[in-house]
Structure 1
Amino acid sequence: MAMPLHSTVAELAPAPARPRRILISSDTYPPDVNGAAVFTHRLATGLAARGNEVHVICQSAEGPATADVVDGVIVHRLRSAPLLVHPTMRVTVPTRLDRLMRAIDPDVLHTQGHFVVGRAAIAAARRRGTPIVATNHFMPDNLFQFGHIPERLRVKAGRLAWRDFSRIFSRADHITTPTPLAAKLLSDQGFTREVESVSCGIDLTRFHPHTEPQVWARKMFGLPDRPTVLFVGRLDEEKRLDELVRALPFVLNDTEAQVALVGQGNQRSELERLAKRIGVGDRVFFLGFVPDENMPQAFAAADAFAMPGVAELQSIATLEAMASGLPVVAANAMALPHLVNGNGFLFEPGDVLSMARHLATILTDEELRARFGRASRALALTHDHQSSLARFEQIYDEVTL
């Protein structure tokens, strides 16, 4: 006797929904240390922690191609070669990515750039019909020193670089950049597509103010217990760290200050020579590479944060300093003015005396320093990385409909 149809149908459970499968492409990824690499790593691991299946295509750190699961992310590293114009970065050997794209079968590609990996991934996604989200971290200024572009040719080189960027990114379905000012920059350079600003975001649970005395954190980095100005980032030309070093003698007229520089770069030896030549060699400390897990302690060691760079599309380091409750003294350039509002001072790039005056004012006024620190934290609260991750998930759903 046949079983009633409804009794077998009732036993069938609905098929489980597959998590989003996101492919992120980037020409820079840890162990590279720069803003784009940090953002891409935090984006990938953050999305994975939220239940997505995340793949990253990037350059190999050592040469041969590899594949591994790192921090919940499936990382596909492509064969690479040393980048001759940069002391630490490598470049992927140009390749078609159709086979890898077919094997991963992503719902969406989220590219972080338009160089070798980015353009190969965009091309493969277009051939396969995979939706593309593109985030821009690029400014020609970041490349000029490594390409040894003479000053007189930089305007023309910049125009050519922006034209190449527009040609590649115009193929994306949705385009983002970290700040409204960074979006305006693209428009000013002739990019006609709509660009949405989505903050890089920061982990507000890891970066927060410390109430205990700073001496413990300073000891951790071998710093004397003095008023401390901190910089975090690459020690490269566009960061204009010579201005911070040259400001220090004027700050010392008012307070026994010191500068701590976290990061690596090709300007370190020049900065060391400069500090020694102007008599502050014993007041400028080069802390080198600090692992991400120790960065909250680095911010805890400081009284103020300085960012003299002029090519910042957002500045994750400045946001982390703000979340840690530090006052900010920053160049009035690119996106930095968006981060300074009642929590510090802006100075015109190149105005060393103005920077020194602002730093001295903060370091010598405990009440002002505390008020600026609270304002920094309040501003940072609007850049919670969970909100940024949620918006990216919405964008992925929108482009895959």
Structure 2
Amino acid sequence: MRIMIVTDQYPPMVGGVPTVTHGLATDFANRGHQVWVVAPSYGARDVRRMEQKVRVYRFSSFEWPTYKDLRIPFLPFVPVRNLIKRSDPDIIHIHSPIVLGNIAQLLAGGLRKPVITTNHYLPINMSRSLSSDPFLGKHFSNITYSYLINFCNRCEYVTAPTMTALNLLYEHGLRAPAAAISNGIDLQKYLPGAPEPDILRQFGLPVDKPLILHVNRLSEEKRVDVLLNAVPKLKTDAHVALVSSGPAEAELRAQVEELQIGDRVSFLGFVRDADLLALRRTSSLFVIPSEADLQSLATMEAMACGLPVIAANSYALPELVHHEVNGFLFTPGNSDELAAQIDTLLSNADLRTKMGQQSLQIIAAHDRVKVLDTWEDLYRRLSIEFKEQKMLRQQLRTARKYPGYKAEEVKNVKRPHIRRTGDLGLDQTTSPGRKRRPK
């Protein structure tokens, strides 16, 4: 197939959406498909190159003033139109409904190309201060969802990585055919292994204390401050490793100084995959206090390595973390509760082992191979249906123009049926027997 992926976030940018889009592009290319990626450049010039069998087209852009690292292209309507005509994709998959996604959607209509969009966003991702404002928050959320739903309803098909994320779209007026399709996890890459004490020495981490791992962008809505507030309340002498960077890093470092926990917290910044895998295998547990995740690749990777997880009971995290099964859910923002749960796990090795095994069972439903099969099936069926509809319209026009044409035969053409939520072969609901922490 000929697949075009359109995204405003792509490596070298770090984060969930760049990881997902890059993974899809390279995985499909490795499966023999022709793949084009449309993304912003990191400067004033357009760039075109082959990257890991993927044709990547980057268009000149500037940095978003309120979101570090996010790039905004200079409205490349003509170049994108020429690229779509030249590449002639069977499907256009949009992952960002902002600039390039809007351009691709508008052009796809005129060029008769089917469009799928995947929503990765919450209003709080764009501005936590506006989203949490008691006066402006509701209006900001309504405006954001109004724009997002209008965009989604103009697409042939809509997906979200979890049922939580999809239900949010339905609640705000989604009418387009839709399904929840997990971002997936490479279970051949992320898997349990023996602890590696050398990795602790490499990063200057203590070898005689249990390690609490957190991997996520250091931004305000990820609530890393809650984890830091829990550290002085721990009864267990543990160490916290924060992996990644982000706009809130300076503020979080200042918080560490204020709490006088510099000897118990390490900022590791960017860590390459091989070292991060070793860190996961050497950690005692994974903590994610985020209040803005519609799935969580970092949590999925930790689970695939057999770690128990403590997560905020917020948005889609309870779909991965089942309370008292593979970890604990705590009230968002409650550092006292988080500290108590950390102590419970660190003081009970058998419980950690049992919950880690449950993590492996839960994450098996998100196997990357299965997810890619689902995408391929959806792409093919949507492309076929779109072509059949186009042929049907042409034949009906011919029938109206030439009365002798057998229009009734045209009307009886069988069209493929694109299935809706829950019918795509993935386990899209959480375990029926899981215990969910009450809100």
Please give the TM-score of this superposition, normalised by the length of structure 1.
0.91
Q: Which runs of 5+ in 2 are unaligned?
A: 385-439
1:350 maps to what in 2? Answer: 333
Name the CA distance, whole Å, in 2 between partners of 1:164 and 1:293.
40
Count of equivalent residues: 379
Match of 1:217 in 2: 199
**Residue aligning to 1:12:** none
- TM-score of the superposed pair, with normalisation by structure 2: 0.84
Separation in 2 of the partners of 1:369 and 1:245?
22
Q: Deviations over 1:291-320 (max 9, x none)?
A: 334331231231110110111111011000
Change (3 A) 1:250 1:196: same
Q: 2:376 matched to 1:400?
A: no
Report deviation, 1:229: 0.9
Distance in 2 (CA, whole Å) between partners of 1:233 and 1:41 is 18
* Deviations, residues 264-305 of structure 1 (Å, cap 9, x unaligned): 111111111111211211111101112334331231231110
Q: Is the 2:131–2:141 Cα contact (8 Å) retained in structure 1?
A: no
Structure 1 portions without partners, runs of 5+: 1-19
- Return the alpha-carbon distance in structure 1 between the equivalents of residues 26 and 129 of structure 2: 30
Tell me, yes or no, if the aligned pair for 2:130 and 2:137 is still in contact at 8 Å: no
| 2:276 paired with 1:286 | no
Matches within 5 A, 1:178-193: 178-193=161-176
Structure 1 residues 178 and 240: CA distance shift in structure 2, 3 A: same
Letter matched to residue 247 of structure 1: A
Aligned partner (choices 40, 51, 59) of residue 78 of structure 1: 59
Q: Which amino acid aligns with 1:266?
A: P
- Are the equivalent residues in 1 in contact too, given 2:327–2:355 (CA < 8 A)? yes
CA distance in 2 between counterparts of 1:295 and 1:381 reads: 21
Counterpart code for 2:198: W
Give me the whole-angstrom Cα distance separating, in 2, the residues matched to 1:222 and 1:287: 9
The letter for the 2-side match of 1:186 is L
Q: Please, which of 367, 373, 378 is the counterpart of residue 361 of structure 2?
A: 378
Shift of 1:146: 8.3
Asked if structure 2 preserves the Cα contact closer than 8 Å seen for 1:81 and 1:90, the reply is: yes
CA deviations over 1:68-95 (Å, ceiling 9, x no partner): 1111111000111122212222211112
Q: Is the 8 A contact 1:85 1:147 kept in 2?
A: no
Name the CA shift for 1:151/1:380 in 2 (closer, same or farther; >3 Å). same
- How far apart, CA to CA, are the structure 2 residues paired with 1:22 and 1:359? 45
RMSD of aligned alpha carbons: 1.5
Give, in angstroms, the shift of residue 181 of structure 1.
1.1
What is the correspondence of 1:183-262 to structure 2 with a 5 Å cutoff? 183-211=166-194, 213-225=195-207, 226-251=209-234, 253=235, 255-262=236-243
1:136 and 2:132 equivalent? no
Q: Residues of 2 paired with 1:199 and 1:157: CA distance?
A: 27
Identity over aligned pairs, percent: 36
Q: 1:382 Cα deviation (Å)?
A: 1.1
Q: Is the 8 A contact 2:9 2:96 kept in 1?
A: no
- Name the residue aligned to 2:370: 387
CA contact (8 A) 1:214 1:302 kept: no
Which residue of 2 is the match for residue 334 of structure 1? 315
